[in-house]
Structure 1
Amino acid sequence: MMGANGAVLFSLLIYAALLYGAVRLIKYFIRYGIDYYFEKLVEYQKNQKHTED
């Protein structure tokens, strides 16, 4: 019976590790995606000012 419990525990551990990795990856993409968006926004606004002059 202990072998079955060990297998369930091991599979839960792997599932938790995959979930943790996915959450970290999503947070990374959100953080750097927002930074990229604002960089492009500033660049766009600078270009708009130059075309108005």
Structure 2
Amino acid sequence: MFFALLVYAAIICIVVRIIKYFIRYGIDYYFEKLAEYQKNQKNTED
């Protein structure tokens, strides 16, 4: 019983870390693409 709880806790911790990782890098990636897009928009206006 106790061992099963430890396994569940470990799985939850791993899942939370993966989600945090994807959120952090997903946001960074999004802002990079947004900046790139805005730069391209400015270039087409000139």
- TM tier, smaller: over 0.9
Query: Corresponding residue for 2:18?
Result: 25
Q: Does 1:50 find its partner at 2:14?
A: no
Distance (whole Å) between structure 1 residues aligned to residue 38 and residue 5 of structure 2? 49
Aligned residues: 46
Shift of 1:40: 0.2
- State the AA in 2 paired with 1:37: Y
Q: Which has the larger radius of gyration?
A: 1
Structure 1 portions without partners, runs of 5+: 1-7
What's the TM-score, normalizing by structure 2?
A: 0.99
> RMSD of the alignment, in Å?
0.3
Distance (whole Å) between structure 2 residues aligned to residue 23 and residue 49 of structure 1? 39
Q: State the identity %.
A: 74
What's the TM-score, normalizing by structure 1?
A: 0.86
- State the AA in 1 paired with 2:41: Q
Structure 2 portions without partners, runs of 5+: none
